[in-house]
Structure 1
């Protein structure tokens, strides 16, 4: 996989899988027909072309206007979407499309349209950041308009060939002919059409009253379905919370201090959902101290991960059980018993054994070189991440390490990871729904030539993945789970916590799955 900007993709996928699944809200009255549903998004979504939609907020916006071939059900199983049925083989899946599906411009959706989307993303000239992440490397699509089918295939067996489909938005109509129109517009078969885009302020969608092909046959004709949806850009969570309380919003996702305030209020619908994992990576480049596995394990032993988890999540997290979030295809705990346990004395002894001896100033050195770590983290991820970085620095300084904190905004984080490589440890959230989506970041060519930003070279992980990707079902899952544990045992990355968010609502209910809205599930209610 080529380098697509690890920080951007991993940070985005963290929230792409945020709100893993469920229905938020409580009914406070009768359904209210024909109204407007207003939801807060934390930043502007940028370019709205699904082939370039790597940011989580972008995919939130896109989920109103675009459909996918299939959808995740509450139990993780596939539900019909644009496809009414499908046939899976180890290296291909053939979808039979529903009849009567139309694009927002009135044109009929065809198998050729679906194939064009996949092949556009897979075209090297597109430089799509979702290629190799949401669309598997080497995938191609072939349409049979007469039969009403489209076949997605890979050069060799791929264990999640079907499970990749719920994350591929399908462009149709005029947008296929002129993708420049997708910069600030939509051209999809989804239940809503974008009618107004005011960057950094709001995005307004109008319902499609003829929409009858949603998940499991859902329509937009149900009582309480809003006629309009307004996604309002509200960067400040306190402002979002205040708007929600006053009735200026029907929904918002809250991470920080205002979460407790909203949870205590009557009349606010509440659901706690997973928002990705909090963990840190060690840079294993040739000139880095963490290239030595003994140093990585010692540094990990110096950290009380339970205490770190509470700090990073402000006490609202859950124990990390793996890198893949629900609805995960492979169930199991890959973390417990596979991460070096907290033992400060053992950490100190291990660093001594590795040749890093404490000097007069308390800082360890080896061959005249001090043990220094530059700890990189994003300042835009909330107070918990800042506090987690400070905790890590304090624990490592106690162990004799000279630590420099380097907090930067998201764009600078991506530059530091991929271009300047000016870091030794990075706190980087991850949240994906398929383990295959991470392979290019955890193995292969190192940055800046590839997406392997931490220069990982875990032979056991690579061997297990090479076997797992060829095997579907339980056999493949066993290998995928073992591959994650291999990373933790080598302290290549250290999972600290599964963070959660509060989805807060007022006078509305709605469903979320794999971080995406289920627009046909939105119901407005009269104020109670």
Structure 2
């Protein structure tokens, strides 16, 4: 029990929300102008795993609790964080109880109750619903309401780390009244609700133009009568990272711009204009290349990149997967595209320090072309007249996809050149970020569809405990037609031994043992080539020097405390 107390205490760093000083009056600071160069495609994060959707919707719909800028849990819609000490977590670890704050209302003025929380769970676990955040509810047996202000979550087995369901920006509560006819296969078709969810957050959607612009207004029913300071928010999407940075740092046209994935020397020149500043925080973001374990051949039609397509003809070879990683010089990629905002990594879980492994560093962190070539030689992949290796009529030539961004396209070119030095070819392709991360089940270009051999992007997890994130690589989380292409296991990796080890992590309370298991799971993913981790990325965004209250958060939504933002005079 001592170790369990340490685990919970380490996470529950704050039991009361310490925001900025209360504003004199709601809505006195006019319009807050935000730029997301990756345009938002929906305001329902349960239908998209994209960070842009999670962040944008966090201004409107909220979880019961979230993580602050230091990684500590803070209550949002509840009175306190449940622990064993305060009786909120059962001593047998099979259940936990949340108490809703008195008087919390939805933006339409109706009461926020436990029924909404229960419904949210049912919405995400519904068959054929394609819930993009299903891993957040892994191990939840039931969600009940002893009374309208109380939520009891029961787990299928003892849950040493219970802070997953309804915690963090990836697991917000949605209103039962608005979404009750949008469950299961009906979910994607509820356009009005998905584009304009009723929430408890500081802002309300006034108008949503998918992949373009969102207009929001202050929530008149927000629980703090003095907040938010801004009357409206205009969240503009599209363009590119460099133009978004310029609009804040040089022209001052916008107040805040998210995700400054721009070459460091360009950013430095923009900051010199004196209108804005950069905010950087290292959390759990990793730029990675996913390797498709299923056959992605276009000739397979509807079977493409599904289990029915069968194993990938060359990436199913462990020697090929290992060689692709060995051929990459991560230090060059960091230097060229990230500077001080990046670190070479071989981990998909790079932080916090207690769970960051070093096991794979010895073979993967530094480029080794000789070792990569030998692996392929020994595995029988021979170079042809064109310099591309092949075996049994199968060529090592890959469609390499990512989102449109200058840093990513530069990385693609670097990787293509590195792979060419071991006899591997690459056709480079990129798609608009709003489409690539959009989650539209009808689009062939989403990262979930993975209609390519390899694809590159960044992802991360809320908070400091990696259990729910590592659950994304379970065999039953593979995207496909049956789940609306919304599973989180993008590389289609499936290893029963991994699933079993994840189950052991979910039952373990001791801090040291949890860290050991998390490292082992992380190491399996890298060693077995589910993906190729490249860069541990710092979250870098920009904001006007006149924007106050910003607390850069790498553990939750960057807009987590937007209710506390204000404009200096």
Report the TM-score range of the alignment, normalised by the length of the smaller protein: 0.7 to 0.9
252, 260, 263: which is aligned to 1:247? 252
Distance 1:321 1:300, change over 3 A: closer
CA offsets per residue over residues 233-283 of structure 1, 9 Å max, x none? 353444434432333211112222553333323241321235821122333
Q: State the shift of 1:488 in Å.
A: 1.8
Structure 2 unaligned segments of length 5 or more: list them: 1-17, 19-25, 83-87, 183-189, 295-310, 438-442
Provide TM-score, normalisation by structure 2.
0.75
Is residue 42–residue 195 contact of structure 2 (8 Å, CA) maintained in 1? yes
Partner of 1:20: none
Q: State the shift of 1:497 in Å.
A: 0.5
495, 503, 517: which is aligned to 2:533? 495
Give secondary structure in 2 for the equivalent of 1:252.
Answer: strand
Structure 2: how far apart are the matches of 1:445 and 1:120?
17
Partner of 1:295: 320
1:226 aligns with 2:230: yes
46, 52, 73: which is aligned to 2:47? 52
Structure 1: how far apart are the matches of 2:448 and 2:348?
25
Partner of 1:345: 370
Partner of 1:149: 150
Q: How many residues align?
A: 486
Is residue 363–residue 370 contact of structure 1 (8 Å, CA) maintained in 2? no
Is residue 69–residue 551 contact of structure 2 (8 Å, CA) maintained in 1? no
Is residue 461–residue 484 contact of structure 1 (8 Å, CA) maintained in 2? no
Structure 2: how far apart are the matches of 1:128 and 1:446?
12
Q: State the shift of 1:484 in Å.
A: 0.2
Is residue 67–residue 188 contact of structure 1 (8 Å, CA) maintained in 2? yes
1:397 aligns with 2:403: no
CA offsets per residue over residues 162-204 of structure 1, 9 Å max, x none? 1443232223375256664423323122222233445555333
472, 485, 496: which is aligned to 2:509? 472
1:426 aligns with 2:452: no
Is residue 107–residue 173 contact of structure 1 (8 Å, CA) maintained in 2? no
Is residue 65–residue 78 contact of structure 2 (8 Å, CA) maintained in 1? yes
Is residue 388–residue 425 contact of structure 2 (8 Å, CA) maintained in 1? yes
Structure 1: how far apart are the matches of 2:450 and 2:236?
36
Is residue 277–residue 499 contact of structure 1 (8 Å, CA) maintained in 2? yes
Partner of 1:107: 110
1:333 aligns with 2:376: no
Partner of 1:235: 239
Q: State the shift of 1:154 in Å.
A: 3.1
CA offsets per residue over residues 95-142 of structure 1, 9 Å max, x none? 011111122122222222222222222222544332x23333655311
Partner of 2:98: 95
Distance 1:191 1:122, change over 3 A: same
Q: State the shift of 1:420 in Å.
A: 8.1
185, 188, 207: which is aligned to 2:196? 185
Structure possessing the higher relative contact order (Cα contacts under 8 Å, 6 or more residues apart): 1
Is residue 285–residue 460 contact of structure 2 (8 Å, CA) maintained in 1? yes
Distance 1:171 1:449, change over 3 A: closer
Is residue 355–residue 516 contact of structure 2 (8 Å, CA) maintained in 1? no
Once the two structures are superposed, the pairs formed by residues 128-147 of structure 1 within 5 Å of their partners are: 128-130=131-133, 132-136=134-138, 138-145=140-147
Give secondary structure in 1 for the equivalent of 2:507.
Answer: coil
Q: State the shift of 1:159 in Å.
A: 4.8
Once the two structures are superposed, the pairs formed by residues 70-469 of structure 1 within 5 Å of their partners are: 70-85=65-80, 86=82, 87-89=88-90, 90-124=93-127, 126-130=129-133, 132-136=134-138, 138-145=140-147, 148-167=149-168, 168-172=171-175, 174-176=177-179, 180=190, 181-208=192-219, 211-212=222-223, 219=224, 221=226, 225-244=229-248, 245-253=250-258, 254-257=260-263, 259-274=267-282, 276-285=285-294, 286-313=311-338, 316-320=341-345, 322-324=347-349, 331-334=355-358, 337=361, 339-340=363-364, 341-367=366-392, 369=393, 371-380=395-404, 382-409=405-432, 411=435, 415=444, 423-433=452-462, 434-441=466-473, 443-444=475-476, 448=480, 451=487, 452-458=489-495, 460-469=497-506
Structure 1 unaligned segments of length 5 or more: list them: 1-22, 24-30, 213-218
Q: Structure 1 residues 87-96 or 311-320, which shifts more?
A: 311-320
Distance 1:515 1:272, change over 3 A: same
1:519 aligns with 2:543: no
Give secondary structure in 2 for the equivalent of 1:225.
Answer: coil
Is residue 283–residue 454 contact of structure 1 (8 Å, CA) maintained in 2? yes
